[in-house]
Amino acid sequence: MGSLRRKVALVTGASSGIGAETARQLASLNCQIALTGRSAGNLGKIKDECIEQGLDENLILLLPGDLTDDTFLERILNETVKEFGRLDIVVNCAGRPCLGYLEDSSMEMFDEVFKINLRAPFVLTQLAMSHLVKSKGVVVNVSSCASLVSHPSSLIYCMSKAGLDGLTHSAAQEYAKCGVRVNAVSPGATMTPLFERNGADVDKVIEMSKRRHPLGRHGDVSEVAKAIVFLASDSSSMVTGHCLTVDGGRSTLPGAPLKEADDDADSSMKCPL
Ligand SMILES: NC(=O)c1ccc[n+]([C@@H]2O[C@H](COP(=O)([O-])OP(=O)(O)OC[C@H]3O[C@@H](n4cnc5c(N)ncnc54)[C@H](OP(=O)(O)O)[C@@H]3O)[C@@H](O)[C@H]2O)c1
């Protein structure tokens, strides 16, 4: 793995799941990290776990708050650069699922989901670019294999992640001449607090993942975070504009059927993969 020692990374969604594991892996590689999430309590726990990975506590900055607020996006960028003097890596991981077909989707839901899944990465990437141009840095977006296969029961979620793929491709092309790389990872079902938080029956999600993913199982956060760290490091120096699936082959299969069999309906609605 290309060295990340003393590089400066800003990770959104670091208070839980994939973002938290990304923080732990970056910490183990001695990367300086600014971590955001809404839960200050969870961010504190992740900070302790990063220190356990060997990172000095002075090299960890916690920035709790809501990314749907543009002034907060500006603040986390400014505070990261003020604290560490530079910015090398932005990981846009914060996001949320959303259930509903076209016929029952509201504009309120559309706006809520797009604000966190697409607007926040767009604004943060735009604000970060002048710093990333200086450091020849990288952006890693956390998309989803749901952007690649049709999943009518999670229409707005799929649209938001497809938009994130578009941001990845186009920003990569625009900034390649400046030496800035922009990539994404596209996980399949990955066991995180996301499912319980959204009321899914976790056992059903695990069973469904066995059938829906050619590798026969759901993913682990460490597998997704390793891909994020790879794209953040010089080991991927010739990779830009790429959405790397970490989905056990899920996206090679057709999307979910329009209506699930009865025994799957409940879990499927809560598992957008
Ligand atoms: N798990 C999967 O199967 C899967 C599959 C494909 C893609 N993904 C994507 O992976 C990313 C991480 O998901 P995860 O599974 O790790 O979910 P998670 O455990 O629920 O974590 C979501 C993170 O996003 C943060 N967040 C959500 N809304 C926010 C807001 N308005 N402002 C600030 N932070 C906010 C949460 O902060 P708080 O907890 O502090 O509120 C949390 O840190 C998401 O973009 C998701 O779409 C997940």
Q: Delineate the domains of the chain, giving CATH numbers in brackets.
A: 8-269 (3.40.50.720)
**Mean of per-residue pLDDT scores for the chain:** 94
The active-site residue, picked from 84, 114, 157, 195, is 157
Measured between alpha carbons, how far is residue 19 from residues 134, 229, 268 in Å? 25, 11, 24
pLDDT confidence bin for 259, thresholds 50/70/90: low
DSSP secondary structure string for all residues of 82-133? HHHS---EEEE-------B-GGG--HHHHHHHHIIIIIHHHHHHHHHHHHHH
Helix axis angle for 202-212 and 262-269, nearest 10°, is 100
- 229-252, pLDDT tens digit by residue? 999 999 999 999 999 999 999 999
Measuring from each residue's beta carbon to the nearest atom of ligand 1, which residues come in under 6 Å?
13, 15-19, 37-39, 42, 66-68, 93-96, 116, 142, 144, 187, 189-190, 192-194, 197, 273
Residues in the chain: 273
First to last CA, the chain: 30
- 173-209, pLDDT tens digit by residue? 999 999 999 999 999 999 999 999 988 999 999 999 9
Alpha carbons within 13 A on the beta-carbon side of 215: 14
pLDDT value for 258: 67
pLDDT value for 265: 45
Rounded mean pLDDT of 91-115?
97
Q: Which spans in the chain are helix H?
A: 17-28, 40-52, 70-84, 107-114, 120-135, 155-175, 193-197, 202-212, 221-232, 262-269
pLDDT at 270 over 70: no
Q: Quick check: is 175 catalytic?
A: no
Tokens matching residue 82: 């003020």
| Residue 158 CA from chain centroid, whole number | 14
Between 116 and 272, the more confident residue is 116
* Angle of CA points 194, 228, 119, to nearest 5°: 60
Q: Compute, in angstroms, the gap from residue 4 CA to the centroid of ligand 1.
A: 24
Which residue owns the Cα nearest ligand 1 atom 34?
37
Q: List, in order, residues 6 or more apart from 235 with CB less than 8 Å away.
A: 1, 2
pLDDT value for 255: 79
- Amino acid identity of 9? A
Tokens matching residue 84: 């560490």
Smallest CA-to-CA distance from 209 within 199, 220, 198 is with 220
- 35-81, pLDDT tens digit by residue? 999 999 999 999 999 999 999 999 999 999 999 999 999 999 999 99
Q: Compute, in angstroms, the gap from residue 140 CA to the centroid of ligand 1.
A: 15
What atom in ligand 1 is closest to the CA of residue 95? 45
Predicted TM-score (pTM) of this structure? 0.96
Q: What is the dihedral of CA 38, 111, 147, 131, to 10 degrees?
A: -60
- Amino acid identity of 15? S
